[in-house]
Structure 1
Amino acid sequence: MFFYAEGIVVAEAWMLQVQGLRFAYPECAVLQSLSFTSPAGLVLVRGDESSGKTTLLRLLAGELAPQGGRIALQGGTRGAGHTFWADPRSAEWDKLTAQAWLDGLPARYPGWDATALTAHIDGFALQEHLAKPFYALSTGSKRKVLMAGALASGAPLTLIDEPVGGLDKPSVAYLARALAQVAGQSGRVVVVAHYEALPGVPWSTVVYLPG
């Protein structure tokens, strides 16, 4: 198994650094000596089904502990306020309304941008869904709420998993524009796991997990 990263990487300007990362589940090895470095900007983690994309995000979030190697975030420690991770498969927020979940985020993220949230709510056409509990949202609407919160969080390390699942074409187009805008923010790395590149998104770094 091999891994590679490609992109515009300036050694002295790195923000996220992964060195020799290893992780295995009891039934199989997933990541073996993964290394990549990224400046501020957008990182695309590409790979087929079961290649380890979500596992890598969970390791970056600190939800899983690596079995070897290291992860470093320049300018801050990974953890509360510095890392945004909301697994779209989780039922953790099922009883909360989308609005209540969003209302709880500013206190957790010092870089929270209320103006950006308003733009994302409009861009993803979420206004009519805010009063609904998460369990009543469609797959696409749930992902859009989570991504609106992620993009508005301002977290130095922001992690987004399989962003287009259940999204309609206008929402996919808005997501590409929103990511392109975030790409210009300094002091922030947004890592997106997806099986292919999204057209029009200026990725700083691409990490390929062949599975």
Structure 2
Amino acid sequence: MADNMLLQVEGLSFAYPDCGVFAHWSMALPAGLALVRGDESSGKTTLLRLLAGELRPQAGQITLQGQSASGAPQAYAQQVFWADPRSGELDPLTARGWLGSLPARYPLWDAAALATHTEGFTLQEHLDKPFYALSTGSKRKVLMAGALASGAPLTLIDEPVGGLDKPSVAYLARALTQVAAKPGRVVVVAHYEALPGVPWGTVVDLPG
């Protein structure tokens, strides 16, 4: 594969006990914005969880900037941002507390970017609420503010517009556009359609 590919997935196979999802599937992504597009139950979230190292493939190789997810799981994980919007794992934490824990984990953390995203997503009034008290949209906005500010070489965002109001969707498009120009970083967004106004560098259609 070409040297400019930041993320390489080769021969990926994964199945749940009752259904297969990927069979010898490959893709390669350069730096920039990538859209993983597919219908409901096409494997979008499963792919993000595999890329995050949360699920282990039954076969194949995932490599990020030369680090293998299976061969060097810790080094690989340090380069990845993933927060599942459907998980209740963060429920007891406040938004501010969780965001405050991220700089220690992500060496390329951008505090100025977080301030911009907090304002852009109008999150100020929600920062001291625990996650369980946030609406679906507010929780997603907090997670995406952290994701975008993380600077992680591989940043994974699932179903970004669930519960978002129109101004927040418009802000997200602007924020993604800014991230698209950053070298050395691939932001993978899983959604069933392309968000308008976003300069997708790569679109990966899942077979469903």
Q: Place the TM-score, normalised by the shorter chain, in its bin.
A: over 0.9
Give the Å deviation of 1:144: 0.2
- Letter paired with 1:128: E
Q: Name structure 1 gaps, 5 residues minimum.
A: 1-9
Aligned to 2:64: 73
- Letter paired with 2:17: P
- Letter paired with 2:88: A
Q: Helix, strand or coil: the match of 2:104?
A: coil
Task: State the alpha-carbon separation in 1 of the partners of residues 66 and 24 from structure 2.
Answer: 24
Aligned to 2:158: 161
Q: Helix, strand or coil: the match of 1:56?
A: helix
Spell out the pairing of 1:23-172 with structure 2 (5 A cutoff): 23-74=14-65, 76=67, 77-80=75-78, 82-172=79-169
Q: Helix, strand or coil: the match of 2:76?
A: coil
Give the Å deviation of 1:36: 1.0
- Letter paired with 1:78: Y
Task: State the alpha-carbon separation in 1 of the partners of residues 29 and 84 from structure 2.
Answer: 23
- Identity score, percent: 76
- 1:14-62 per-position Cα deviation (integer Å, ceiling 9, x unaligned): 1111111110001010112221111101111000000000000000000
Q: Helix, strand or coil: the match of 2:50?
A: helix
Number of residue pairs matched by the alignment: 201
Task: State the alpha-carbon separation in 2 of the partners of residues 34 and 190 from structure 1.
Answer: 20
Aligned to 1:182: 179
- Letter paired with 2:134: L
Task: State the alpha-carbon separation in 2 of the partners of residues 206 and 167 from structure 1.
Answer: 23
Give the Å deviation of 1:198: 0.5
- After TM superposition, the score normalised by the length of structure 2 is 0.94
Aligned to 1:208: 205
Task: State the alpha-carbon separation in 1 of the partners of residues 88 and 127 from structure 2.
Answer: 17
Q: Helix, strand or coil: the match of 2:143?
A: helix
Question: Higher relative CO (CA 8 A, sep ≥ 6), structure 1 or 2?
Answer: 1
- Letter paired with 2:50: L
Task: State the alpha-carbon separation in 1 of the partners of residues 156 and 109 from structure 2.
Answer: 15
- 1:119-164 per-position Cα deviation (integer Å, ceiling 9, x unaligned): 0000000000001000000000000000000000000010000000
Q: Given that residues 78 and 157 in structure 1 are in contact (C-alpha distance below 8 angstroms), is that contact kept between their aligned partners in structure 2? A: no
Task: State the alpha-carbon separation in 2 of the partners of residues 204 and 15 from structure 1.
Answer: 13
Aligned to 1:15: 6
Task: State the alpha-carbon separation in 2 of the partners of residues 24 and 178 from structure 1.
Answer: 34
- 1:142-196 per-position Cα deviation (integer Å, ceiling 9, x unaligned): 0000000000000001000000000000000100110010000111011100000
Q: Name structure 2 gaps, 5 residues minimum.
A: 68-74
Task: State the alpha-carbon separation in 2 of the partners of residues 46 and 93 from structure 1.
Answer: 27
- After TM superposition, the score normalised by the length of structure 1 is 0.93
